[in-house]
Structure 1
Amino acid sequence: MPTPRPAAVALAAFLCLTAGCSGTTGSDVAGAAENSTDAASQGTYPVTLRNCGTDQSFDHAPSRVVVMNGASVAEVSTLLALGQGDRIVSNQQTYGMSEVPGRARKIADLPTGGVKPNEAFDIPREAMIGLRPDFVLSTTSYGFDAKNGFATREQLKEIGARTYVSPEGCGQDNLNMTIDDSYTLLRDMGKVFGVAEKAEKLVATERQNIAAVAAKVRNAKKPKVMVIFSNMTMGGNDFSSVAAHGIYNDILAEAGGSNAFASASKSSFADLSKEKVAATDVDALVVVSYNDPDPTAYAKKLLKEFPQWPAAKKNTFVVLSDSMYLGPSNDVAVEKIARMLHPDAF
């Protein structure tokens, strides 16, 4: 994502705190749910969630929902997958692309509430209060930090708004995030909006799809994969947006691969020199796009830059976006990567 450095740093802060099958995919089910206009009127209330050390109680489904940016689409995609898009009064999340047909357009069509984002590309305190939300979702606790000009959870509580920080977003890094956290987000939102049964069906379908792919590649050799965010600067070196830990590695493992740079950093992302990247054998490349107009061109440029890589010699790469993050579509990433790494297994 070509952005001025301050903007890239702000997005990096969020990111560092936060991912053809023959059967039905979890994203097929999610896509069907996104087209649904069912009201969440059959839920069991009250519902209480323990979230980042605070209890958030609901006696009915929220109707004025605000989704903060957080360099994510996990939250808005989860709400759409559960058929709750009509409850959103302001959405700040967008990637411009999605592995789920129609999702990017549905996200783009959601209201923004006329908010003018701050330097961190998110909703400043005064604008948030003016939206009169009854539920606010943030990818990380950063989104409720007064030092960054945001409304705090306490301030939002005073105006009657409940708040939610997505799984693994309470701490300082998401290096322990797994696909199970995507399921937790789905289940939590299912409870909040009274559609727990729909959430469980989505989770069950996604689990089944991932298990089916994993079974096909379980005994295969695990190629070394580089996962990199295209055209994004997150540090001081030439390659500062290389994923090292977190949900990315869980997805790679299920797809029959391994992270070529897992040992290069103790945090979620590695900030690497060109020399370090050149000296590492990369069997395959996963380029993750965040509002990049041409991530495929970025992938091809990278392979040309390192012709010694096995990935370059065999032109082995795949471009993904929202399925590689926390969210309701990790099964899509698992299958696409597995087909790239082990085509003979399908």
Structure 2
Amino acid sequence: MSHERPVATALAAALCLVTAACADSSPDEAAGGRPARAASKTGYPVTIDNCGRSETFERPPSRVVVMNGASVAEVSTLLALGLGDRIVANEQSYGMSEVPGRVKAIKALPTGNIELNDAYDIPREAMLGLRPDLVLSTTSYGFDEKNGFATRDQLKQVAANTYVSPQGCQQDTSKMTVADSYTLLRDLGRIFNVPGRAENLIAAAKKRIDGIAAKVKGRKAPKVMVLFSNMSMGGNAFSSVVAHGIYNDILAKAGGSNAFESASRTSFADLSKEKVAATDVDALVVIGYNDPNPAAYARKLLKEFPQWPAARKNKYVVLSDSMYLGPSNDLAVEEIAKLLHPDAF
């Protein structure tokens, strides 16, 4: 399966499933103290600094639009925070997830019946017609007027706040880490006045990852190839091979290393078959993005490169949303650590 170039470009650029009826207590209220002013009783106003802009929220958003951005980071984070009922249009979907029930929950969300543009996202007029009070975009690409999108200023004129996810301001995700997933959770927790839920999710993820990291500490780090299944993003045979970004942080926490980290300075490497064949690969991580059978792609690669240690030992794992920005990186760390260091578990 080959994806259209606009989606690949956006990708490279870039669980509570029920809704609680009330917001978390503010820090002052939780501590039993008296709020300094009336606004603090509700937690508002809240101001978020985002890509050089100050976004002030006077109340929790109730008409949220989630742009595609070739991601599920934002919609998964909203669902994990129990905020699915605030979404009036969601364009994100991977078609698979490591979190039970998430695919079904995302599929059940409204899409706004939008006719998407050539970049598989929401064009300006359609966006304004949705009457959002918050628009989420994985990168600043989603607010670029040159690509036919509503700008942040245009949305502000219709009383809609906007938010670009961590590391998305410059459309360069090569420096993204798991900490950025925590930032996304924390920011949305503040915006919707559910900071306690966000902090609980962060604490649970950190505890799980720290426990796994302790088990694999001091062990030799196998060389891992990470790539998206059946996706073309360049001119060579292997153009969706991961070089940098959150993937490397996940690998390191799982006791592994990226076999192709030096192949590119950007998030992805565009490699020839010869380059791939000449590199020792101890294990394979295939990320499924709307691919019905990424496991078949993984097995095909292992058969194509029988000289790899990964092929001789049949060491591969298929993952999806847990490998990218979002609330479930701890699941990816665990799955990869078990693949690389099975005797530690």
Q: Deviations over 1:172-196 (max 9, x none)?
A: 3111100000000000000000100
* 1:16 counterpart SS class: helix
Q: Matched residues in 2 for 1:16 and 1:332: separation?
A: 22
* Map of 2:32 onto structure 1: none
Matched residue type, 2:198: A
Residue among 18, 39, 42 paired with 1:35 = 18
Partners of 1:41 and 1:260 in 2: how far apart?
A: 44
- Match for residue 150 of structure 1? 149
Match of 1:228 in 2: 227
Distance 1:92 1:35 in 2: 20
Q: Would you say the 8 A contact 2:217–2:255 is kept in 1?
A: yes
CA offset at residue 70 of structure 1? Answer: 0.2
CA distances 1:229-279 after superposition (whole Å, capped 9, x unpaired) = 000000000000000000000000000000000000000000000000000
How far apart, in 2, do the equivalents of 1:36 and 1:216 lie? 36
- 1:289-328 pair list within 5 angstroms: 289-328=288-327
**Which residue number in structure 2 is paired with residue 218 of structure 1?**
217
Paired residue secondary structure (2:13): coil
Question: What residue is the counterpart of 1:10 in the other structure?
Answer: 6
Question: How far, CA to CA, are the matches of 2:196 and 2:23 in structure 1?
Answer: 11
- What letter matches 2:252 in structure 1? A
Q: Which residue of 2 aligns with 1:254?
A: 253
What are the equivalent positions in structure 2 for 1:99-248 lying under 5 Å apart?
Answer: 99-248=98-247
Q: Distance in 2 between matches of 1:223 and 1:295?
A: 22
AA partner of residue 242 (structure 2): A
Residue number in structure 2 paired with 1:51: 50
Aligned to 2:35: none
Unaligned residue ranges in structure 1 (runs of 5+): 19-29
* TM-score in terms of structure 1 length: 0.94
- 1:22-66: CA deviations, max 9, x gaps? xxxxxxxx2xx2234434375511100000000000011000000
Secondary structure of residue in 1 paired with 2:135: strand
CA distance in 2, matches of 1:172, 1:328: 20
RMSD after superposition: 1.0
Segment drifting more, 62-71 vs 37-46: 37-46
1:266 and 1:148 map into 2 onto residues whose CA distance is: 26
Name the SS for the 1:276 alignment partner.
Answer: helix
Cα deviation digits, residues 86-136 of structure 1 (max 9, x gap)? 000000000011000000110011000110111100000000000000000
Amino acid at match of 1:161: A
Q: 2-side partners of 1:87 and 1:36: how far apart?
A: 9
CA contact (8 A) 2:18 2:84 kept: no
- The residue matched to 1:201 in structure 2 has which SS? helix
Work out the percentage of aligned pairs sharing the same amino acid: 69
Is the radius of gyration larger for structure 1 or structure 2? 2
Letter in 1 for 2:131: R
Query: Structure 1 CA distance, aligned partners of 2:96 and 2:290?
Result: 7
Q: In structure 2, what is the equivalent of residue 88 of structure 1? A: 87
Report the counterpart of residue 24 of structure 1 in structure 2: none
Deviations along 1:274-314, whole A, 9 cap, x unmatched?
00000000000000000000000000000000000000000
**Equivalent position SS for 1:312:** helix
Point out which structure has higher relative CO (alpha carbons under 8 A, 6+ apart): 1
Q: Unpaired segments of 5 or more residues in structure 2? A: 26-41
Tell me if structure 2 keeps the 8 A contact 1:38–1:83: no
Contact 2:141-2:171 at 8 Å conserved across structures: no
Q: Which residue number corresponds to residue 71 of structure 1?
A: 70
